[in-house]
Homo-oligomer: A and B are copies of this chain.
Amino acid sequence: MGGDHAPGEVCKGALAACSKYPDLEVVLVGDGSQIEMSIQGAEPFVTKRIHIVHTDEFITMDESPTVAFRKKKKASIRMVMDMVKSGDAQGCISAGNTGAVVAGGVLILGRIEGIDRPGLGVPIPLPNRITLLIDVGATVRCKPINLYQFAIMGEIYMKNTLGVKSPVVALLSNGEEEIKGDEVVCEARNMLAGGNMEFMGYVEGKDIPLGVADVVVCDGFTGNALLKFIEGVGEALYKLLKEEMEQRVLPKVGFLFLLPMLKEIWGRFDYEKYGGTPLLGVNGVVIKAHGRSKARAIDNALKVASDFANHRGVDLIRDGLDRGGM
């Protein structure tokens, strides 16, 4: 029931995924009659693997996640997490309130033993690779151990869902030189340098869009600012282009020629392809899809969730913790 296009697009995405992956079964939790309507007319070989669980409690975008989570025992996001906990589901997806997804992950599923705080990792599609930026808001301020564990979890995720053979991990700092960074970042650097992963050291903000690493680790405050900043830049550029288009005649011709090129370029940055943001560090597969997700994004989120579940991603994180990477 969460996100801008629920439940219609969410249901469409579930149908699409079930028709592609014959082993996949999807439980849709939300307003039963709305869901029924959204999936009617689909092929029986698909709908037989779609199950509906009705509830009429939802957590909205403006509710305080932790408060709402404790009060609304039948909230759709809560029921979904309960199913993961009981083993009735191997993973869950939500396009709703991010805070509620994080709170639910921690309160219902609990943290993996040894994990201090969970991390949300966003796969950013760049021209040469996909970079997972972790954390983007689950843990606002971090201790060194948090950054270290984000790196381990991010590396395992990139291996097991996006198939990166030996992910390169970097730590965001305010400069590339070793003398940069505050005590927290500096200590995390030392911990990572002693681990088992391909750790390239510090990177700066400018290195992220240039695609220098598969995993870039930062605290949730900074990651959240960066992620939302990208959205804002896109919005501002679009406004500017529109203004310019309206004021000029000649470039309109140019714009028509340029459109296929721009489309292809934006297409490369299309987050829908990579299926949302995993909440890493909890006892279960939890994927947060973007609030603007349409069917294709949900379809991909289901693929990613089932891949991570099939690879036993949570167990891999548990093992990886002891080894400082895989």
Seen from chain A, the residues whose Cβ lies within 8 Å of a Cβ on chain B are 62, 64, 126-127, 137, 140-141, 172, 174-175, 177, 179, 181-182, 184-185, 204-211, 218, 220-222, 224-233, 235-237, 239-241, 243-244, 248, 250-251, 253-261, 264-265, 268
- Residues on B with C-beta less than 8 A from A239 are 127
CB distance from A325 to the nearest CB of B (A): 24
- The answer to whether A204 and B221 have CB atoms under 8 Å apart is no
- Residues on B with C-beta less than 8 A from A259 are 254
- Residues on B with C-beta less than 8 A from A241 are 261, 265
| A174-B221, A205-B224, A228-B206 known; A240 vs B268 contact (CB < 8 Å) | yes
Dominant SS among interface residues on chain A: helix
16 residue pairs of the A-B complex, CB under 8 angstroms, read A126-B236, A182-B221, A204-B232, A205-B228, A206-B232, A208-B232, A209-B229, A210-B236, A226-B226, A229-B229, A244-B261, A244-B264, A244-B265, A250-B257, A254-B255, A254-B261
- The answer to whether A227 and B251 have CB atoms under 8 Å apart is no
A225 contact from B172, B244, B253, Cβ within 8 A: B172
- The answer to whether A205 and B229 have CB atoms under 8 Å apart is yes
